[in-house]
Structure 1
Amino acid sequence: MTRPKAILFDLGGTLVEYYKASEFHAILDDVLLDIQQMLFEKLAITFEEVTIGKRAEEENRESGDNKVRPLETRLATIFQLGDLAKEHAFMMGLCKRFLKPILAKSHVFDDTMPVLSELKDLGYQLAIVSNTPWGSPGILWREELGRIGIARFVNPIVLDRDAGWRKPAGQIFQHAMNIMRVEAKECLYVGDDPRWDIAGPRAVGMDAVLIDRSGTYTHKGIQCIKTLHELVDLVKNT
């Protein structure tokens, strides 16, 4: 690994804990029920729960080519919103309702703030390149990153909705590099999922490090760290 000029981070599971993969179905069931009740109370729209559940299962997938499937489109399909889906403020309200229980569970890892601060002081360009749950609006995630204090350390914040592609697609990494005006060989990517955070950046020529906080991965040929403090030592010694 060569000494990087820019360090790009995944968000969930790397800098902040929101939910474990095993928890998402329960969160999804609760939030869709909440939206269903809101639509009934405010607009007198009724639904059959079995139908909603079936549509939700069909929407709980990503495109095979990694193109983003926006949250607004998924919700409009699940709840058959018709012309209501054209009302931006209304749909943004639904998106906020969708994300509320996810953001409420946020826990910034103890090493996140001190390491981002130290890396910034050392002169590294820092960025976030991350997918979002169900292709949710980037503006809501930028508000979240401002709320929890991470936004002040990173620029740019590149989300799947910005690029139109989800990791591991090369387009989202290239989008970030274009904004930062850096080349892949000058970048180091840090994330917690080998499928998206190692294979994706490596495919465009970036070095990549896996943060494995639980010590569960045994992948050969992957540089692993257990804490972000180890990342500081790693880049200082390259």
Structure 2
Amino acid sequence: MTEIRAVGFDLDGTLFDHLNSATAGVNAFLRSLGVEPTDAIRTLWFSAEEAGYEQWRSGQISFQEQRRYRLNLVLPAVGIAPPDNPAGLDMLFAEYLREYRAAWRAFPGAADVLISLRASGIRLGVLTNGSQEQQVDKLQAIGLQGLVDVVCTAEDLGVWKPDERAFEVLAGKLGVTPAECLFVGDHPEQDVAGAMSAGMHAVLVDHYGEHAVGLKAVIDEGIGGR
């Protein structure tokens, strides 16, 4: 049986609590506009985020344009006319970003898991489909950047998960073969299926589910249950 010498992680939804950070951010942002957030408005926000993000990932629009797309979809739904120019939209989105960033948090125990793995001699990396600048900023803000050896973003690599080439690059930067790497993520296709297609071992983590067990238990299962 091949020894696991490295563990790779997705970021949003795996190490970084994007859902609760973004929920706090959008609640504060909407209230600053005089709108009381509701479940329906938050659902629309996250749907617009996902749709715009996919358009960016597939190369249809720029990263900044996917942010403008979100505002243009959500603001009319709450009775606010969005700015009619890109600069105005960007300035308004910056207000949301300030609230979002203020709420950034790692999942409980994430730092302890990374520290424990490194102490056992395992190399650690992050592979994320997010933008280079923002994802590195997140890792710094939540105190995790110094706990991983490698950070790979799809924007920097030019390939997005679940493309097996992204996982192969991660393994190479970690100095291991894909078979010696365990990948941990919250998306069945982008993370688990993608990693396995590259020859990695992979486990799914669900921090928000009814039976969430946390990173340590998932990793212990991934390393010990092969």
Aligned mate of 2:127, from 126, 129, 140: 129
- Quick check: 2:126–2:151 contact (8 Å CA) kept in 1? yes
Q: Aligned ranges for residues 181-192 of structure 1 at < 5 Å? A: 181-192=175-186
- Quick check: 1:19–1:105 contact (8 Å CA) kept in 2? no
Aligned twin of 1:110: 108
Supply the distance in 2 between the matched residues of 1:68 and 1:7 (Cα, whole angstroms).
Answer: 32
Normalised TM-score (structure 1): 0.65
Aligned mate of 2:215, from 223, 228, 231: 228
After TM superposition, give the deviation of residue 115 of structure 1 in Å.
0.8
Q: How big is the alpha-carbon RMSD for the aligned residues of Structure 1 and Structure 2?
A: 3.9
With over 3 angstroms needed to count, the CA separation of the structure-2 counterparts of 1:99 and 1:165, relative to structure 1, is farther
Aligned twin of 1:62: 54
After TM superposition, give the deviation of residue 205 of structure 1 in Å.
0.9
Supply the distance in 2 between the matched residues of 1:163 and 1:127 (Cα, whole angstroms).
Answer: 14
After TM superposition, give the deviation of residue 96 of structure 1 in Å.
5.9
- Quick check: 1:67–1:164 contact (8 Å CA) kept in 2? no
Aligned twin of 2:148: 154
Supply the distance in 2 between the matched residues of 1:60 and 1:169 (Cα, whole angstroms).
Answer: 20
After TM superposition, give the deviation of residue 63 of structure 1 in Å.
5.1
2:54 is paired with a residue whose SS is coil
Task: Work out the number of aligned pairs and report it.
Answer: 196
Mark the runs of 5 or more structure 1 residues left unpaired by the alignment: 35-55, 85-90, 218-224
Supply the distance in 1 between the matched residues of 2:60 and 2:155 (Cα, whole angstroms).
Answer: 7
- Quick check: 1:214–1:226 contact (8 Å CA) kept in 2? no
Supply the distance in 1 between the matched residues of 2:134 and 2:125 (Cα, whole angstroms).
Answer: 17
Aligned twin of 2:3: 3
Supply the distance in 2 between the matched residues of 1:236 and 1:95 (Cα, whole angstroms).
Answer: 44
Q: How far does the alpha carbon of each residue in 1:141-179 deviate from its partner, in whole angstroms, 9 at most, with x for none?
A: 212211211001112111121112221122321222232
Supply the distance in 2 between the matched residues of 1:94 and 1:3 (Cα, whole angstroms).
Answer: 50
- Quick check: 1:6–1:125 contact (8 Å CA) kept in 2? yes
Instruction: Report sequence identity in percent.
Output: 27
Q: Does 1:16 align with 2:10?
A: no
After TM superposition, give the deviation of residue 4 of structure 1 in Å.
1.1
Normalised TM-score (structure 2): 0.68
Supply the distance in 2 between the matched residues of 1:193 and 1:160 (Cα, whole angstroms).
Answer: 15
Aligned twin of 1:120: 118
Q: Does 1:72 align with 2:70?
A: no
Q: How far does the alpha carbon of each residue in 1:188-236 deviate from its partner, in whole angstroms, 9 at most, with x for none?
A: 100111121111111111110011234469xxxxxxx722221453336
Supply the distance in 2 between the matched residues of 1:94 and 1:172 (Cα, whole angstroms).
Answer: 33
Supply the distance in 2 between the matched residues of 1:9 and 1:226 (Cα, whole angstroms).
Answer: 16
Supply the distance in 1 between the matched residues of 2:149 and 2:94 (Cα, whole angstroms).
Answer: 24
With over 3 angstroms needed to count, the CA separation of the structure-2 counterparts of 1:67 and 1:129, relative to structure 1, is farther
Q: How far does the alpha carbon of each residue in 1:96-126 deviate from its partner, in whole angstroms, 9 at most, with x for none?
A: 6664333333222112011110000000000
1:108 is paired with a residue whose SS is coil
Q: What letter corresponds to residue 132 of structure 2 in structure 1?
A: G
After TM superposition, give the deviation of residue 67 of structure 1 in Å.
5.6
Aligned mate of 1:196, from 170, 190, 198: 190
